[in-house]
Structure 1
Amino acid sequence: MWNYQNGYREKITDYMEKLIKQDGYPLEKYSVTTKDRYINIMYRIPYGKCGNTNGQRRPAVLLNHGMICSSAIFIDQNPLGYYLADNGYDVWLLNNRGTTFSTKHEDYDAEKEKDKYWDFGFHEIAIFDLPAFIDFVLDHTRRRTICHIGFSQGATTFAIMASELPEYNEKINLSILLACPILFDNVSFFHVKVSCILGIIIIQILEKIFRLKLHEIPLMAEMRFLMFYAAKNNIYRKISELIMSLIVGYRDRIQLSELDHQRLGITTPNSSSTRQFLHYSQMIRYSKFAKYDYGSTKNKELYGNKNPPLYDLSKVTSPVGIFYGKNDMYNDCYQDGLEKRLGNTVHVQILDHEFYNHLDFLYAKDNIKILFEDMLKLMKKYCHL
């Protein structure tokens, strides 16, 4: 029986590391310390299952996960990490601060000093974690550039990093953005906006009236428990599918028919800070790709204005390839217009599947044909040593 109360972080880490090795791939593990002293874990699959017999150097690719996710989403039931390794790439899998893999800090204890440790959102992940991971890979491999693939929040943090730290554009030979929640002008699902507004209100009530400080997005362990037992109990599975449909658009039963909820529930959903959810909620509510809104008083102190400033996407000058799903509830693929706002969009593709949704980018059973082959073609054009 999977135990979510005692040593679950170690159990999740142990599961992932054993899985990669059992699948026949080489695995390296590294600790990466950020400028603000968070200690995060990154995995490396340096070559594919057949080995690296010719000893040649391979182009490096960094896989960047989403919110309430971890590096597990690119390995367990999603062959992207293995697919890239088998096709000649040096694959690096990051785990952002706050995930079950990365909960250490040089000064703070994530459990005993929650107010200090969990004082971050995806803005901090973008300006501290992602640059640290990129620099580590480049230093370790002695390369000048790296390919970046960001799913969901991984696309958001890339856009923030490249606009706030434009010097990092020179270190990216290509960034592929999958299911990218950046512009929310055309979110067509009414319940998404309602859920965001209600989420903000509930958190404010809990914190201001009941004096409950929510450091992490709540119920993630309970959701993993539900996912883990969904395969054994039809009622659990129906509840799990309903929750997933509300969050990610779980509609294509054919493409997700082979998804093993029990395996998924070991690692996903993963832990994230409450501010990550609140920041997305603000952007969806106001349809602005802006910095975090702390309130007018603190905004004026931090930003010099009562309103948070917008991120300047024109500063994203490294080559970007965007892949849209026709049924992604966070992007209207026909009206999103992100490619016009970025400084150097080189590829835009709406995937040829009518019901392809946010979750399908990870777990659609036909992803090699629907998505990976086209990604690989684009990478071969831009991702060189």
Structure 2
Amino acid sequence: MICKDGSWLQPLCSGSMYLVGGFNTKQMNRTMLPVIKGHTPAGAAIKQFVHYGQGIQSGLFRQYDFGFISNYFKYGSLSPPQYNLTNIVAPTTFYYSSNDWLSDPRDVRELHDKMTGGRPTLIKVADFNHFDYIWGIDVKALVYDKVVKIMKEHETNKSFQSQ
């Protein structure tokens, strides 16, 4: 109710989104706020948030840390193994933005440097944030259309088809 059109509390709804993913009023469709808030954080589990926090705390991109004893039984070592990103050979395009508070451009570059088939692509909209990839007013033109075009190009290129 507080997020609906005309509510004087509607700025609180968008503000709560900005606190997590980055501030951007230009891409926020306020009429969608009741739907957005009604489905957020859908599709995410507490364990995913814990794993994300573990990565921030350790500074490493590795599997879930269950604790010393459980790690030993699960992984055969006291700490979780790092992901071997050199095993990812599929052509990959990373879309990232400088205002995404959940995905720092330095992390994107580090991920790209460790993968063999990655291609980073900066969204050249200064305020584009984490949630704009899902709900941004211009996301179709800025990201989705380009992703579909890349997929169609790869579909016609036999070197990228499975063998």
TM-score range, shorter chain: 0.7 to 0.9
CA drift of 1:332 comes to: 2.8
Identity in percent = 23
Mapped to 2, the partners of 1:366 and 1:339 lie a distance apart of 25
1:371 is aligned to 2:138: no
The partner residue of 1:313 within 53, 73, 85 is: 85
Residue 220 of structure 1: aligned partner: none
Question: Aligned to 1:339, which of 112, 136, 139?
Answer: 112
Q: What is the Cα deviation at residue 323 of structure 1?
A: 0.7
Alignment of 1:175-324 (within 5 A): 229-231=2-4, 233-235=7-9, 237-249=10-22, 251-270=23-42, 272-324=44-96
Q: What is the correspondence of 1:32-181 to structure 2 with a 5 Å cutoff?
A: none
Q: C-alpha deviations, 1:278-306, integer Å up to 9, x for none?
A: 11110111111111111111111211111
Check 1:353–1:287 CA distance in 2 against 1; reply closer, same or farther (3 A cut): same
CA distance in structure 1 between the aligned counterparts of 2:153 and 2:131, rounded to whole angstroms: 27
In structure 1, the residue matched to 2:102 is 330
Residue 271 of structure 1 and its aligned partner are, at CA, apart by: 5.5
Q: In structure 2, what residue type is equivalent to 1:261?
A: L
Structure number with higher relative contact order (C-alpha < 8 Å, ≥ 6 residues apart): 2
Structure 1: which amino acid aligns with 2:138?
A: D
Q: CA separation in 2, counterparts of 1:335 and 1:315?
A: 18
Which runs of 5 or more structure 1 residues have no equivalent in the other structure?
1-227
Considering fraction of residues, name the structure with more helix: 2
When residues 292 and 352 of structure 1 are mapped into structure 2, their CA distance, relative to the original with a 3 A threshold, is same
Contact 1:300-1:306 at 8 Å conserved across structures:
yes
* CA deviation after TM superposition for structure 1 residue 243, in Å: 2.1
The amino acid across from 1:279 in the alignment is H
Deviation at 1:314, TM superposition (A): 0.5
TM-score (norm 2): 0.83
Deviations 1:53-96 (A, max 9, x none): xxxxxxxxxxxxxxxxxxxxxxxxxxxxxxxxxxxxxxxxxxxx
The DSSP-based 3-state class of the residue aligned with 2:128 is coil
Cα RMSD between the aligned structures?
A: 2.1
Which amino acid is the alignment partner of residue 234 of structure 1? W
Shift of 1:265: 3.4
How many residue pairs match? The answer is 155
> Are the equivalent residues in 2 in contact too, given 1:325–1:351 (CA < 8 A)?
yes
SS of the residue corresponding to residue 60 of structure 2 reads coil
In structure 2, the CA distance between the partners of 1:327 and 1:259, relative to structure 1 (3 Å rule), is farther
Aligned residue identity for 2:11: K
Report the 3-state secondary structure (helix = DSSP H, G, I; strand = E; otherwise coil) of the residue aligned with 2:104: coil
In structure 2, stretches of 5+ residues that fail to align are: none
Q: Which amino acid aligns with 1:343?
A: T
